[in-house]
Structure 1
């Protein structure tokens, strides 16, 4: 992200024009659901899946993940079939219980009360995104961008550019919230000031992003103030 993008966040104060949320691992703690589904699919095909492999897939475009599963296991399904099977299992678990991440719902509610639009930017496909969004009050998200509706998935910038475009806002005036290295790269490369909340996998220090341990207690005003005093390398001074 350019220095001008950071300046847009720090110079005017106040609230972001919009907040662009990742879903899996950021809004909801569904990564264990995905990992469980991966283990089951591979083991049913007679293979052995590892958490090391699973962690390599966190935040990825689902087509990339499905091809990785096919290349590293006995699973012979086509990538789209792998995705559909993964989604079926994860959606079933989400319908039983939506595992919200700490502070996420509270921040969403506060942003909506303050009139700040939210967009969901996820590499999950529409069926899972709808299951999560459907458990929230209508209108919580003003836009939903899913992995099956973009040409290029994360870490490409397209998903975040599409989200900002759908809301009619400048990416530099928004804030993205992500939990994975892949997602952070996507948001930062789109020019969005990014807050990383590492969860299942570590997130390297990234120019254009700041890290917080949790969203618990974070307010809408905090989303911009977090960038005050941040150097170009993402560190505070």
Structure 2
């Protein structure tokens, strides 16, 4: 069996390096409630990767909420800003835990280039990832760094280009279906972490693991390389925005 050549690891943030998805779900539920909509916090992992404006519009469409569907981008951005501010209030002091930091350092010590590729805002990024932790990455991209968001391939293509590697030489660590599609559409390898969604909804990834910590265990990274080598090539998929389940939202008052 030939070995696969991996030169870089590209990490998603929410749900992969930090346990912040629950807070995102609560923030979406809160902001939608102010508009008369009831939404399940599962909206967060289900739509993770999309731009926040797109998530809001999908929720409005799913609920048949015409006032929301008529909002301009500027009006919608004001709502999203309130959601982000509320998120920062409730997420607390979430940060990349020390054991996860050690996994990142271990990969760097192997000579791998590292990127952080998130769809969260710069303010949210700075709130939960310390300046010292940000220095662990050679490249960091956040919402607004590129024109197109996940599931389009641009975020991971841009990260690979800035790292100076081909997409097929990169492993993306994701936790959500749309992020997985972004990685696969870019032509990169993808490992899904079953931290926020059931394994059966992560089947488009090349490998599914329970925790990013598995990469730092003795023989963990070598096992990943062997499993990827057995697959041959990463291949590509179309970057569809089709969700793996309906957005759980309904209108509960006029």
For the 8 Å contact 1:102–1:214, the answer to whether it is kept is no
Which residue is 1:63 aligned to? 53
Which residue is 1:35 aligned to? 25
CA distance in 2, matches of 1:53, 1:167: 32
Answer yes or no: is 1:23 the counterpart of 2:13.
yes
Q: Deviations over 1:44-77 (max 9, x none)?
A: 3333222454453233232211223444369857
Which residue is 2:168 aligned to? 172
User: Aligned pair in 2 of structure 1 residues 55, 22: CA closer, same or farther (>3 Å)?
Assistant: closer
Matched residue count: 222
CA distance in 2, matches of 1:59, 1:227: 24
Q: Deviations over 1:152-204 (max 9, x none)?
A: 11110000000001111111111110001101010011011111112222334
CA distance in 2, matches of 1:192, 1:233: 6
For the 8 Å contact 1:175–1:223, the answer to whether it is kept is no
CA distance in 2, matches of 1:138, 1:176: 17
- CA RMSD after TM alignment: 2.9
What TM-score comes out, normalization by structure 1 length? 0.80
Q: Deviations over 1:101-151 (max 9, x none)?
A: 796323112122333221011111221122333254452111111122211
Answer yes or no: is 1:147 the counterpart of 2:137.
no
User: Aligned pair in 2 of structure 1 residues 175, 233: CA closer, same or farther (>3 Å)?
Assistant: closer
Q: Which of 92, 106, 109 is the matching residue for 2:105?
A: 109
Structure 1 residue 97 displacement after superposition: 1.7
What TM-score comes out, normalization by structure 2 length? 0.75
For the 8 Å contact 2:24–2:87, the answer to whether it is kept is yes
Gaps of 5+ in 2: 236-254
CA distance in 2, matches of 1:231, 1:114: 22
SS at match of 1:48: strand
Structure 1 residue 23 displacement after superposition: 0.8
CA distance in 2, matches of 1:184, 1:103: 24
Q: Which of 176, 186, 192 is the matching residue for 1:190?
A: 186
Answer yes or no: is 1:123 the counterpart of 2:122.
no
For the 8 Å contact 1:180–1:201, the answer to whether it is kept is yes
